């Protein structure tokens, strides 16, 4: 067993314990507030998660940005943002979803996602573009979860069926406010990533990156329209949730969809 795999297993166990502990608290009490010990376990899992990627990078001599590695790094960003949100905004219940996603993504990377060759070093602008893009993906993936939560809350209120899961979520107005705050941060990161890519990536079409650029720009346009509509016409609720999920779908296809086809179906 490699040290990277050992760290991944340790992180996954910590994530699993944190997620299951939070889930039991939600089911038993209808709230995840006061779940400090489980958040500590989640923090331990995130720290081991980061250590696994740092060790893999040190071993290979350069960062690994293949499909499963990028997926794991995005999940790590989601876990870190969840922990920050739990301490600052009392969003502990979010860990019930995010921690298992982080554990599964890391295990997939540790078991099957480490390439057997080191590849070529990337220029620093391209690495900067990649890291900023991964941060944008993490923020917007978290926004997608908030959008789903917002849709669930609105539907439950319309049907007057308030379950324990709904009670564990923040108040509807807080969920909506947090959604747009995360969207704004993700939009800023995505804008920066696109700007770096457009400036520093040469021969964009010759490198078969046109589909990625087009889908990313479409996602950016959807987010821009949503944020403008929220500011100008007060778009919110189910409409905001639909636009958020559409933007995240386009962004996911831009990188992860193309990388999946390129690496797994084409074997490149």
- Residue 104: per-residue pLDDT: 96
Among 67, 98, 121, give the residue marking a domain's end.
121
- Digit-coded pLDDT (tens) for 109-167: 998 866 555 556 677 788 888 889 999 999 999 999 999 988 888 888 777 777 666 77
Q: Are residues 117 and 128 in the same domain?
A: no
Distance of alpha carbon 263 from alpha carbon 68, whole angstroms:
10
Predicted model pTM: 0.88
Tracing tokens 């189910």 back to the chain, one arrives at 238
Q: What is the pLDDT of residue 208?
A: 60
pLDDT at 158: 79
Distance CA 195, CA 175 (A): 30
Cβ(41)–Cβ(18) under 8 Å? yes
**74 and 7, same domain (yes or no):** yes
Domain of residue 138: give its range: 122-268
Q: Are residues 70 and 126 located together in one domain of the fold? A: no
Mean pLDDT of the chain: 85
User: Tokens in use for 44?
Assistant: 């331990």
Direct distance between the N- and C-terminal alpha carbons of the chain, in angstroms, rounded to an integer: 27
* pLDDT above 90 for 74: yes
Q: How many domains does the chain have?
A: 2
Same domain, 112 and 183: no
Mean pLDDT of 187-216: 80
Same domain, 151 and 208: yes
Q: What is the pLDDT of residue 71?
A: 92
169 plus 262 within the same structural domain = yes
DSSP class per residue in 206-222: TTT-HHHHHHHHHHHHH
132 & 147 share domain:
yes
Among candidate residues 68, 86, 121, the one where a domain is terminated: 121
Cα torsion angle, 91, 97, 99, 105, sign: negative
86 and 111 belong to one structural domain: yes
What average pLDDT does this structure show over 256-262?
Answer: 73
Mean pLDDT computed over 26-45: 80
Q: How far apart are CA 128 and CA 40, in angstroms?
A: 30
Angle between helices 95-108 and 124-159 (to 10 degrees): 140
Q: CA 8, CA 2: separation in Å to the nearest integer? A: 10
**Domain end (from 99, 121, 143):** 121
pLDDT value, residue 34 = 65
Residue 200 has pLDDT above 90, yes or no: no
Dist. CA 223–CA 50, nearest whole Å? 29
Least confident of 48-57, 132-141, 156-165, 235-244: 156-165
Report whether 76 contacts 50 (CB < 8 A): yes
Does residue 84 sit in the same domain as residue 138?
A: no
Q: Are residues 102 and 188 in the same domain?
A: no
Residues 94-113 pLDDT 10s: 889 999 999 999 999 998 86
Residue with tokens 């219940």: 93
Phi, psi of 140 (to 5 degrees): -75, -30
Give the model's pLDDT for residue 62: 64
Q: Check: CB of residue 66 under 8 Å from CB of residue 115.
A: yes
One domain for residues 136 and 178: yes
Closest CA to 15 of 101, 73, 88, 92: 101
Same domain, 137 and 98: no
Which position has the token pair 């490699």? Answer: 2
């Amino acid at each position: 067993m490699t040290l990277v795999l050992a760290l991944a297993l340790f992180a996954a166990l910590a994530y699993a314990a944190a997620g299951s502990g939070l889930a039991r608290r939600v089911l038993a009490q209808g709230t995840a507030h006061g779940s400090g010990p489980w958040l500590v376990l989640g923090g331990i899992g995130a720290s081991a998660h980061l250590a696994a990627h740092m060790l893999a990078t040190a071993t290979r001599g350069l960062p690994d940005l293949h499909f499963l590695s990028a997926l794991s790094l995005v999940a790590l960003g989601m876990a870190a943002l969840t922990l920050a949100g739990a301490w600052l905004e009392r969003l502990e219940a979010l860990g019930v979803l995010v921690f298992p996603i982080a554990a599964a993504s890391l295990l997939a990377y540790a078991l099957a996602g480490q390439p057997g060759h080191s590849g070529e070093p990337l220029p620093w602008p391209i690495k900067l573009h990649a890291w900023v893009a991964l941060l944008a993906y993490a923020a917007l993936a978290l926004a997608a979860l908030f959008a789903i939560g917002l849709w669930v809350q609105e539907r439950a209120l319309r049907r007057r069926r308030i379950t324990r899961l709904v009670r564990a979520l923040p108040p509807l107005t807080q969920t909506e406010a947090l959604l747009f705050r995360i969207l704004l941060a993700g939009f800023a990161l995505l804008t920066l990533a696109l700007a770096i890519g457009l400036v520093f990536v040469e021969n964009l079409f010759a490198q078969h990156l046109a589909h990625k650029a087009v889908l990313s720009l479409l996602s950016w346009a959807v987010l821009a329209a949503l944020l403008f509509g929220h500011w100008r016409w007060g778009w919110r609720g189910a409409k905001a949730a639909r636009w958020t999920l559409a933007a995240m779908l386009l962004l996911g296809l831009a990188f992860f969809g193309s990388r999946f086809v390129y690496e797994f179906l084409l074997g490149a």
